[in-house]
Amino acid sequence: MIAKIKADTQGGLIVTTVFFLALHGCSGEQQDSFRQSAAVDDQTVYEWKMITSWPKNLPALGTLPEHFAEIVEKMSNGRMLIRVYGANELVGGLEVFDAVSQGVAEIGHTGAYYWQGKIPAAPFFTTIPFGMTSYEQDAWLRYGGGNELWQELYAPFNLFPVRGGNSGVQMFGWFNKEINSLEDLQGLKMRIPSLGGEVFRRAGGIPETMQVSEVLTALQTGRLDAAEFVSPYNDLAAGYHDVADYYYYPGWHEPGSTLETIFNKEKLDALPSDLREILMAGTEVMNQLLLDLLMAENNKALRTLVEDHDVQLRRLPDDVLLELRRISEEVVAELGQTDEITARIYESWKGFKDGVMDYNRIAEEALIEARKLPSN
């Protein structure tokens, strides 16, 4: 799959898509400005650094930033060169926010919910337990006022955030024992970040936040009893099936996780306008590519895990899911009262979610139920 994406890039497919997305999202006046600025004879070469929270060679999350860099270089005719650093190559995976804010690197690829300790509202821009799906979240960000709130939230940190991918509905994760009731969660040590971790704590578990690169060893040594990551394609590559027997779904804690591409705002504002537009368009392509790639690969990876590696695929019991949902609603409502900007973000997010849920009952949900009807 990686080779195929590279081939498409070399063939110009992605470049064409980038220009379409860049122009499609602009007004007529902005499109004219984009075309004019692209024609400016400015041959200055900008060399930027991009740091991520993922191992560099990890399929999808780790490799897509490299494709982003290739797209930007091609579209800019070599005027914008981006060197990508994986987690721990320049800074730690959980240090990306501060490093980009301070200008250690110009771009970061990460997840907003890692910064909840310093920005309480940050999880709304990644995912909320039992919250919106990937395309619902994308719609809120782009057309429901989410992007504007996100930019306002990050402005004091000299950062400009945009979407950088979405995982779709994730798996709940890997466990060393079966989960048959709420009692089985008591005292369980699990790598699970952000609000999902707080819900897990209130349900009796012990949440841990750690870099992806540390999880496998933690499961092997018993430091962790369980861990969530993304979905079968990434989890297979990470090797979690070698150290845990049970693979649980659904991913109630991350129903549609947006990754963020963050820019040092001072550096971004100083660029020529055409290069800024190229960077924004490149992030739009990266955003869509991740979701498409995981949708294409997850089923194949899941079959490999179950059929070739004897992984035990299990669904969480209904009573466990109902209690986790009850706690989630409590946790999110409390978060919405943290401060003035968090309250505004919560009201915007909740209002959009309630609206799309009403529509999806007669759209997506109705279609899925119809597909499951038995044939006569």
What is the reported pLDDT for 210?
86
State pLDDT tens for residues 50-83: 999 998 888 899 999 999 999 999 999 999 999 9
At residue 36, the 3 state secondary structure works out as: helix
Q: Are 233 and 59 in contact (CB under 8 A)?
A: yes
173-175 and 246-249 as β-strands: parallel, antiparallel, unpaired? antiparallel
Place of tokens 């590559």: 237
What pTM did the predictor assign? 0.85
pLDDT for the residue numbered 58: 87
Q: In order of start, what are the domains of the chain with their CATH numbers?
A: 1-37+44-335 (3.40.190.170)
Beta strands in the chain (DSSP E): 46-52, 80-85, 107-110, 159-166, 173-175, 189-191, 206-208, 226-227, 246-249, 258-264, 312-315
Cα–Cα dist 109/51, whole Å: 6
- How far apart, in whole angstroms, are the C-alpha atoms of residue 215 and residue 226? 9
pLDDT value of position 212: 82
Tokens of 339: 């401060």
CB 69 within 8 A of CB 84: yes
* pLDDT of res. 86: 96
pLDDT at 11: 37
Rg (C-alpha) for the chain, rounded Å, is 21
The b-or-e profile of 355-370 (16+ CB within 10 A means b, else e) is ebeeebeeeeeeeeee
Closest-CA residue to 186 (of 174, 200, 198): 200
Rounded distance between C-alpha atoms, residue 213 and residue 54, angstroms: 8
Q: What is the pLDDT along the chain (376 residues), one digit of tens a residue?
A: 333 333 333 333 344 344 444 444 454 554 454 444 444 556 899 999 999 999 888 889 999 999 999 999 999 999 999 999 999 999 999 999 999 999 999 999 999 999 999 999 999 999 999 999 999 999 999 999 999 999 999 999 999 999 999 999 999 999 999 999 999 999 999 999 999 999 999 999 999 988 888 999 999 999 999 999 999 999 999 999 999 999 999 999 999 999 999 999 999 999 999 999 999 999 999 999 999 999 999 999 999 999 999 999 999 999 999 999 999 999 999 999 999 999 999 999 999 999 999 999 999 999 999 999 998 7
